[in-house]
Amino acid sequence: MAPPPLFIAGKELPILWEDKYFLVINKPAGLAAHPGPRTQDSVETRLTPQKRGGPWLVHRLDTDTAGCLLIARRKTALIAAQKAFTNRLSIKRYWAVVIGQPSQPEGTLETMVCRESTPQGGWKMRSVHSGSKHHTIDTSKMQNAKTSWRTLATNGQYSLLELTLHTGRTHQARLHCAELGSPILGDILYGERAQHNTGAGQALTPTSGLCLLARSLHVPVSLPTEARTHSLHKNAPPIHIQATAENERINRLIQQYFGTAFKL
């Protein structure tokens, strides 16, 4: 008897790669990895239970982030992959279209971060620097966050950054890009600068989503029958990232790195 389909009918998600242990899906921006108080539609709720148990999400992506999400088909695979994440052996690379450009073409930013309440009754993440005081922050829950960046291309108004996340904190890429002075295009939570003109004197083009893509995922795992390394990567940018190329210069630089399949 054939196994049940992986996804609920009508709720399928694009699969980038798969074998008998794992699969990698291309999670769309706006879809949560797990269900929550405000939404039941999520990657997890779209999966169909299998006879052997699972499938299981190995890690998570923020709701507004598109790209590679690893799912385990077997419990042994789940344990092996989660061990790689816990021991920081996995390599997670992101591409982000940001406003302006960082002061240095590449580097590493490491801060302590924690959740902060907002006046509107919501929350956001904040980097907490030594000696600073924030009455809305529970400093007992601070965590280390480390991100490396590399500028792939820039035209002065926008830049395309490759981000390597050495830790997996909530909103880490978004917060650290804002800390660099170059918030991610389409980020209404951390990108206050997106509401103003750029230094080039041109107003920013609104986008319909966060211009952040989980571009690649490298996870070394040891399974009972074989030692293997999964290099899982290179998915195309979603439409809302493609749509940021409102002029010929930014169009050319993003085509160069996102690939020739990117067309307006």
Catalytically active residues, by annotation: 62
Selection from 173, 168, 214 nearest residue 190 by Cα = 173
Selection from 131, 175, 160 nearest residue 241 by Cα = 160
In angstroms, rounded to a whole number, what is the distance separating the alpha carbons of residues 87 and 91?
11
Residue 208 DSSP symbol: S
The 10 Å CB-count burial string (b at 16+, else e) for 5-30 is ebbeeeeebeebbeeebbbbbbbbbb
Q: Tell me the sheet residues that pair with 230.
A: 219
In angstroms, rounded to a whole number, what is the distance separating the alpha carbons of residues 137 and 79?
33
Pairing, β 15-18 against β 22-27 = antiparallel
Residue 70 has a CB neighbour count (10 Å cut-off) of 27
- Residue 120 neighbours by CB under 8 Å, 6+ apart: none
Give Dmax (Cα) for the chain: 64
